[in-house]
Amino acid sequence: MSRADRLLRLLQLLRRHRHPVSAVTLARDLGVSIRSIYRDVTTLRGQGAAIDGEAGIGYVLKPGFLLPPLMFSDEELEAIVLGLRLTAEHGDAALELSARDVVGKLRAVLPRELRALVDDTPLLAGPSPDRPSESVDLREVRRAIRQQRKAHMEYVAADATRSDRVIWPIGLGFFERVRVLVAWCESRADFRSFRADRIARWTTLADRLPRSRVTLLGEWREREGIPAQLPD
């Protein structure tokens, strides 16, 4: 691997450990010599990394240190760009605009060679022309989820039956053909999934969720056998 890539991987290894980790362990994980670890730690400190420790004791990265944007590897940048392209293609209108803004901010802080990688990444997000549109603003739905608020909605079932429900919204899934809201339904006293295009009316309430969204989403995932993908 290149030295730049090794420095990045060393930082990532240090971020995984809350307590000092020895140079022997770091050298083994990176497949380099212990002397290389000593040199790389010195280099990282010179670049501003707050690394405590010394040879024979171990090293730990102080909390709060943030990797500069240029410290992404090629594959990490590809993952970011693909994720943003998927968001722009499959998210709601506000998320699409935000995704494009993020790409602009990313390009502004990357060196020229990495900007070219962002612009020329051959990973594409396909369109979803058959997905039905929603009559409610999904920004408000996402805001209610983020603020952990209850909501009142009018929902139209597949047989055109209408129902009024008070729900605890905890997640919003973006799929190729449909967007799905995951919530606890007070009238059913259970978790339910609702197609976003069948929500006829939405009102975010002042009442907060009785339990945290993270806890509720974890319970739903466990019941459905769905593993967590990324930290909530």
Per-residue tokens: 1: 């691997």
Phi and psi for 191 in degrees, rounded to 5? -70, 145
Residue 223: pLDDT band with limits 50, 70, 90: very high
CA-based nearest residue to 48, from 33, 61, 30: 61
What is d(CA 11, CA 7) in angstroms, rounded to the nearest whole number? 6
What is d(CA 202, CA 156) in angstroms, rounded to the nearest whole number? 12
Question: Of the residues 46, 67, 88, which one is the last residue of a structural domain?
Answer: 67
Most confident option among 13-17, 50-54, 104-108, 191-195: 191-195
**pLDDT tens figures, 9-27:** 888 888 888 789 999 999 9
- Output the CA–CA distances (angstroms, integers) from residue 53 to 12, 19, 29, 41, 107, in the order listed: 17, 10, 18, 10, 35
| Residue range of the domain that includes 84 | 70-120
Is the same domain home to 59 and 93? Answer: no
Per-residue tokens: 136: 């409610």
Is the same domain home to 154 and 198? Answer: yes
**pLDDT tens figures, 140-154:** 999 999 999 999 999
Is the same domain home to 87 and 27? Answer: no
Section 118-135 average pLDDT: 86
3-state secondary structure of 182: strand
- 108 pLDDT exceeds 70? yes
- Output the CA–CA distances (angstroms, integers) from residue 173 to 96, 170, 181, in the order listed: 15, 10, 6
CATH number at residue 167: 2.30.30
In a domain, 229, yes or no: no
In a domain, 58, yes or no: yes
In a domain, 129, yes or no: no
- Measured CA angle at 47 (ends 44, 53), to 5 deg: 40
In a domain, 188, yes or no: yes
Contacts of 103 (CB under 8 A, 6+ apart): 81, 84, 118
Domain count along the chain: 3
Q: What is the widest separation between alpha-carbon atoms in the chain?
A: 71
- Based on C-alpha coordinates, what's the Rg of the chain? 23
